[in-house]
Amino acid sequence: MEQQRAVEPHDVVDLITAKRHGRPLDPDEISWLIDAFTRGAVAPEQMSALLMAIVIRGMDREEIRAMTAAMIASGERMDFTALGRPAIDKHSTGGVGDKITLPLVPLLASLGVAVPQLSGRGLGHTGGTLDKLESIPGWRASLTNDEMVAMLTDVGGVICAAGSGLAPADRKMYALRDVTGTVAAVPLIASSIMSKKIAEGANGLVLDVKFGSGAFLPEVADARELATTMVRLGADSGLRTVALLTDMDAPLGRAVGNANEVREAVEVLGGGGPADVVELTLALAREMLALAGMPHIDPAPALRDGRAMDAWRRLIAAQGGDPLAALPEAREREIVRAETDGTVQRVDARSVGVGAWRLGAGRARPGDPVDHAAGVEVLVRPGDRVRAGDVLFVAACDHEGRMSRGLEALRGAVELGAGAPEPRPLVAGRITADE
């Protein structure tokens, strides 16, 4: 005799219909929905329909809070109270040339703050921190919870992949969103990010929410809405959260790729590096120090006196990597030159990111391999004066046939004009729970 299924307290078709017509779902409905989808009682096609209804109709604050709580409840929660030092995390919404995590984590660790940095992989034109670090021979991204705690105790920081136990409902939902065109919705982005960050158990969180052509949400108004939503979710859950709105219209720094971004991060840790990378690293470090109760500490000297570099080497070695090993170098290089004289008005971050992606630095689908040696060196910034024949970009890759498509994207990435462009601040705003 066939075993009867348990009777569910809600009908998913009713919830899809309700959301399609704009009715807010109540916390009990949302809690059931996330749990039922996680255990397979709601089919992927049904959840896909509901996600699209959310994209179209949106969610109010109570709905987003309930969805976040339900995704947290689907897995484990970590606790770092035994460390004896504040644990402060940082999250970036992603961009082109965004290697800030690499110098930031050892910098904070060298100043006495524990940084449990759970990072991800790149997809499309935006890079992933784990892909960058895996260009270091021997370095491994997957750690157990005990290994994480040991590193936070001994080194003060860790950069690793999120374990399967943190918000598994989010992982299952994101796989659907990625293939159904339902990624770019503020309620879904906010609940996805914050469910993992709250479950992680840190004492504070600093968000780097980007806008501009290379960002996930190009419009500053949408980025502000996302930042405000996430800061409120943190406050509602007792996680002190601050967000900076930062410009991603141009790439960060000169290096875009994987191994080349690691090299640039090491330059910053050695007291050098591009001014914008240093500026954003220090801005985020100051916010994290303030949440840790250390607003009086200036992080800049630790980049100059070797403390941050020492912490970097310990962090990489503790995860099996050789911090002094040679990084991959591409066999093939091509130069993109200016065709006319002019002043650089814009370096389009998305075009540069797409160029690096086509060269092999990124992936089109989860699980695709990346070429750690592939990437782009950006040699001009907005406001630079160039002459015809000057070098704008150096493209690098190892795979025959990829170079031409990468160069195609890069050739349209620089806009030249007659006068100097209007300066754009790197940090355009700050969002707190009081706003």
Active site residues: 91, 170, 177, 192, 196
One-letter identity of residue 386:
V
The tally of CA atoms less than 13 A away on the side-chain side of residue 407 is: 15
Burial of 340 (C-beta count, 10 Å sphere; 0-12/13-18/19+): exposed
Contacts of 147 (CB under 8 A, 6+ apart): none
CB 103 within 8 Å of CB 117: no
The closest of 177, 203, 169, 216 to 78, measured between CA atoms, is 203
CB-CB contact of 115 with 88 (8 Å): yes
Q: Report the C-alpha gap between 228 and 215 in whole angstroms.
A: 17
Q: Are 209 and 245 in contact (CB under 8 A)?
A: yes
Query: Is there a contact between 315 and 136 (Cβ–Cβ < 8 Å)?
Result: no
Give the span between the Cα atoms of 94 and 79, in whole angstroms: 26
Residue with token string 């879904």: 188
